Amino acid sequence: MKKLVVLLFLIAPQVFAQADLASHEAQLKTALFAVENARSSRPDLCSPRSVRADTLFLVKDRDWTSGFFPGNLWLMYELTGKDFWKDKALENTMHLEHIKNYGGTHDLGFMMYCSFGNALRLTNDASLKPVLVQAAKTLSGRFDEKIGLIRSWDHNSNSWKYPVIIDNMMNLELLFWASKETNDPQFREIAITHAQNTIKHHYRPDGSSFHVVSYDPATGLPEKKNTHQGFSDASAWARGQAWGLYGYTMTYRETGQKEFLDQAVKIGHFLINHPRTPADLIPYWDYDDPAIPHVPRDVSAAAIMASALLELGTFDIPEAPQFLAYGKALIKSIQASYLSPVSTNLGFITDHSTGHLPAKHEIDTPIVYADYYYLEALTRLQKLDK
Ligand code: GLY
């Protein structure tokens, strides 16, 4: 059945042509006005993250998701070319500037590269560069030479001495950019070392990954392999697998090193051939939840995976057509059954993501980063169509 679905999508006409940009714009405007309204009484709230208890859940600028909403505005500008989106994107980006000095998280890549990174890419305004360079310096401050990895979290220090999560692969893009901009190889060396050690310690022989690996700073070696947001330590948490696929695809693009392409391809095979993928291809929140099929999906994982496959499928590899077809099929499936009907879901474009099931929040709900990677996938499809 799954093979048939992929085949149908393979022979289908261009996917991007079917993207209903007007309805996506209408949704994003709803979110924008809700944020502007909320900010008039709570200026500390900067970004819509999800829907919790039927209410728009807005976060402060230090939340790991704060860069996605400005990122969505930038991607809408890229998709439509309309100055309205550019102006709103710039406005929603600039108030994150001070985050460049925030050293309390590894998520500076998400926060600054989705906001300021897209701003620079789409405007070429050189005044944005020092902000990103400073963010890369702050992120590099979390790298430990002996362990050879960037520390992810400072919380849960009773359980983990030096936790590194698979999600951290996504933050490396900022470092690669910083080396190209400054000609300082150190950022790039940190990113490469981090990516190599993540292959070594996070990945299992089948191409799936642990979520959290914690290291002992005294020895520099891993001492615990756990999960935080997945079903179990040994399971394949869907979004974590998607972060890894995207992270190694990007790392290959930035380095040209075959070891990273091989890793991306291996993860790609694990995901597109997984026996517990449902017929419409949108993954369950964790591939190893024994209650499958009676468990929530995670559209954010599908969107991240789609965007990654739409890049991996452009590389010179035998599997390229298969990866490209699968990426397109994922987007078609999101468009067929997982979008918010216009004027619902408080302005989010997609629905049915799962943020943190074990903590019982953000389950089967709209989430901002699903929209971000869905829109990014549309920009990639737009380019492929051209
Ligand atoms: N990076 C956190 C998450 O994927 O939920």
- Residue 61 in contact with ligand 1 by CB distance below 6 A: no
Active site residue 107: yes
167 is catalytic: yes
The answer, yes or no, to whether any atom of ligand 1 lies below 6 A from the CB of 214, is no
Q: Distance between CA atoms of 18 and 34, rounded to whole angstroms?
A: 28
- Sequence-distant (≥ 6) Cβ neighbours of residue 2 within 8 angstroms: 277, 279, 281
pLDDT of residue 1: 42
pLDDT of residue 54: 86
Q: Which of 20, 63, 154, 167 is catalytic?
A: 167
Look at residue 52 in the predicted model and tell me its pLDDT: 87
| Structure-token pair, residue 97 | 């500037």
| pLDDT value for 39 | 87
Q: Which of 61, 107, 289, 298 is catalytic?
A: 107
pLDDT of 4 reads 45
Structure-token match 């976060």, residue found: 59
pLDDT confidence of residue 3: 53
Side-chain-side CA neighbours of 29 within 13 Å: the count stands at: 10
Q: Could you count the other beta carbons within 10 Å of the beta carbon of residue 371?
A: 32
Query: For residues 315 and 261, is the Cβ–Cβ distance under 8 A?
Result: yes
What pLDDT, on a 0 to 100 scale, did the predictor assign at position 64?
Answer: 98
Q: Which of 49, 64, 362 to mutate to test the pocket of ligand 1 (most atoms within 8 A of CB)?
A: 64
Cβ of 239 closer than 6 Å to ligand 1, yes or no, is: yes
Atom of ligand 1 nearest to the CA of 165: 1
**pTM for the whole thing?**
0.96
For residues 276 and 288, give the distance between their C-alpha atoms in angstroms, rounded to a whole number. 8
Phi-psi region of 281 (alpha: psi -120 to 50; beta: other; left: phi over 0): left
Q: How far is CA 152 from CA 24, 133, 206, 306, 359, in A?
A: 33, 19, 24, 25, 19
Which residue type sits at 159? S
pLDDT value for 11: 46
Nearest CA to ligand 1 atom 2: 167
pLDDT at 45: 87
Q: What is the CA(107)–ligand 1 centre distance, in A?
A: 9
The parts of the chain modelled with pLDDT lower than 50 are 1, 4, 8, 10-13
Residue nearest to atom 5 of ligand 1 (CA): 355
For the CA of 300, the closest atom of ligand 1 is 4
**C-alpha 198 to ligand 1 mean position (Å):** 17
* Residue of 243, 299, 372 to mutate, ligand 1, most atoms within 8 A of C-beta: 243
Question: Which residues are CB-contacts of 130 (< 8 A; sequence separation ≥ 6)?
Answer: none
Three-state DSSP class for residue 375: helix
For residue 71, the Cα-to-chain-centroid distance in whole angstroms is 11
Predicted pLDDT at 353: 98
